Chains A and B, each alone.
Chain A
Amino acid sequence: MLTANRLRDGDVLYRKGDGWTLILAEGTVYREKAQADAALADAQAELVRNEFVAPYLFEVREVNGQIRPVKEREIIRAAGPTVRTDLGKQAGNVNV
């Protein structure tokens, strides 16, 4: 999957089609490397829109029918700090 931060408020974004979503579960999963690389290239070309920054790809896998990041870092990034479960997306704090 492809992630970035929204420029204006720093919120974590996930690529969904040609756009972005705040929710990892709604993001597009690239099952082929070529697709993923193309998505990253598109995003990099779109940096000039000044809507988001620092796009990068990260790995996910399917666990019991749910898409989950492989790396701890991305799990935390998608949910929020593990030490404040009242904050971040896990608590529904998203800046719309």
Chain B
Amino acid sequence: MSEVTPNMYRYDEFDAEFVAERTAQFSEQVKRRLSGDLTEDQFKPLRLMNGLYLQLHAYMLRVAVPYGTLSSRQMRMLAHIARKYDRGYGHFTTRQNIQYNWPKLVDVPAILADLASVEMHAIQTSGNCIRNVTADHFAGAAADEIEDPRPLAEIVRQWSSLHPEFVFLPRKFKIAVSGAPNDRAALAYHDMAVEIVKNAEGLTGYKVFVGGGMGRTPYIAQVISDFVEKHDILAFMEAVLRVYNQQGRRDNIYKARIKILTNALGIEEMRRQVEREFVEIKTRGALQVPQEELDRITAYFAAPTFEALTDEMPDAGPDFANWVKSNVSQHRAPGYAIATITLKTPGQVPGDASADQMDTIADLMDRFSLGEVRVSHEQNLVLPHVRKRDLPAIYAKLKELDFASANAGLITDIIACPGLDYCDLANARSIPIAQRIAKKFEDLERQQAIGELKIKISGCINACGHHHAGHIGILGVDKKGVEFYQLLLGGSGAQDASIGEIMGPGFGEDEIADAVERVVEVYLAQRKPDERFLDTYRRIGMAPFKDAAFQKEAA
């Protein structure tokens, strides 16, 4: 079957040259490092800005997947890289990127060259700079969407690429965009975020948030502007970054994010300072985005031509029906659907896919999804534009791949960071905990009875597993040399954003899954009709859950 090219941004000769030169630049930097012209201390920020970490076992390369959008051609290249340079698999991350765990430094220039051949790169996926701009993984497809946020994400991506003033920020800077009232992009937890809105006059523009974040001290972002006009958005963002670069703390890496600055100044003062910069930048005019540019970029993401189809869901048996219930979401076009491929089959490593699986998914993309897939921030993949009548064939193929778990948003759809199995920063392992919990709750009927329950596990305070935003969050800690796990309840990354509350003392590796089970039992016993776990928690509070969690089992 032939490769289908989706409607997405395509490099022109400028973009291609940019990435090629960046790759050549990094190749030179690697040479200088190997020859000793650069010390490790000097090389480290340079390799980080090309996405290359040194981890527990090996280097780790984080490849950028801008706003989580991939073509089948790109997916095949990601599979090729896994095979040729790595150990045959990759990991899809909580920022919509992909990570490889075993690249060699000496091979990285070749990997980057291969990526460049399919319009990909690893620029600014790490380091104290503006990182990958993430977006709603249902962008362009969701029934509730006001406007596809990806043209904005692409405009911001270009503006932020090697921005000379902002490549040595106090700390990393993460931006997310959403074009729907249901926030699937976790805007509240980003350094800066944009929600596409309409004002009273019906004009579409941007509501801008600042100062959210996870980590050691989680914060929910605050509104810095209710409405920024589209052509002003880069001027506005530049103003925010400038204030941050000038005033963000440089003395303590745990207090260096913009969330700390926003909290220290207060949102009023933050707004005043940003406004001052914004007015100046706007007046100068160089950062205004002309309508023709907005139109030009938007055209890349034009909606595909949807066939006129009847809006019927095929009947293909009870297993298929279960999968549809959880993993298929409403599409804006009749007869179409959005299919979530959860990379969360109980017992698997969350978010991992082998090279073979990636290739098969590329085939599915071409056959059934107009050549396109999305990487969600929940370590899953999404086929955004599938015909309902093709869903049974897709499901059958996913079963062959062992990616057919009917668990999207359910208790076994667990997010887990790589943790102590892979990561140099971790205090505890997170993947085995995810696997244990998933196995425990494997029974599908039980999962459906429990309903929506997002468990998120981090192996250390850096919170790459987003545990603060979990309905149930789990934080791995090191307690006198032993892995130990704290429970948090009531976090949310959606538009009802909240930070999880710490339950209290933690649980050992062999106790945590049982503790989670006892917490779930309290929910099932106490819930009112139509209440999700999160709703019941918000109604009845921590105490009943805590009592149950710490209850010793009867002798």
Contact = CB atoms under 8 A, between A and B. Distances in A.
Interface in B144-182: none
Given A9-B106, A50-B33, A76 B421 contact: yes
Interface string A47-76: 111100110000000000000001111001
B504 interface: no
A84 B349 contact: yes
B56 A50 contact: no
Contacts of B33: 7, 50
Interface residues of B, number: 31
B40 A54 contact: yes
B374 interface: no
Contacts of B35: 50
Contacts of A87: 87, 102
A53 B432 CA distance: 29
A28 interface: no
B57 interface: yes
A44 B104 CA distance: 22
A82 B432 contact: yes
A71 to B, nearest CB: 6
B429 interface: yes
A83 interface: yes
Contacts of B105: 7-10
Contacts of A7: 33-34, 105
Contacts of A9: 58-59, 104-106
A80 B57 contact: yes
Contact of B56 (A53, A76, A83): A76
Contacts of A53: 40, 54
B34 A8 contact: yes
Contacts of A12: 56-58
B435 interface: yes
B54 A83 contact: no
B97 to A, nearest CB: 19
Contacts of B87: 87, 93
Interface string B55-68: 11111000000000
- Sorting the interface of chain A by its residue count into under 10, 10 to 19, 20 to 34 or 35 or more gives 20 to 34
A95 B86 CA distance: 12
Interface in A6-38: 7-12
Contacts of A48: 36
Interface string B461-486: 00000000000000000000111000
Nearest to A78: B57
B420 interface: yes
A72 B349 CA distance: 20
Nearest to B431: A83
B54 A10 contact: yes
Contacts of B9: none
Contacts of A50: 33-36
A61 to B, nearest CB: 12
B550 interface: no
B349 A8 contact: no
Given A54-B54, A81-B57, A10 B349 contact: no
A88 B34 contact: no
Contacts of B483: 72
Contact of B106 (A8, A71, A73): A8
Given A9-B58, A9-B105, A76-B56, A83 B349 contact: yes
Given A50-B36, A81-B421, A95-B104, A10 B432 contact: no
B320 interface: no
Interface string B101-113: 0111110000000
Contact of B57 (A47, A49, A70, A77): A77
B422 interface: yes
Given A47-B40, A50-B34, A82-B432, 13 more contacts: A5-B58, A7-B34, A10-B55, A11-B57, A48-B36, A50-B36, A72-B482, A73-B56, A76-B429, A80-B57, A83-B429, A83-B431, A87-B87
What 5 A-B pairs are tightest by C-beta distance, nearest first? A9-B104, A81-B421, A10-B59, A10-B58, A50-B36
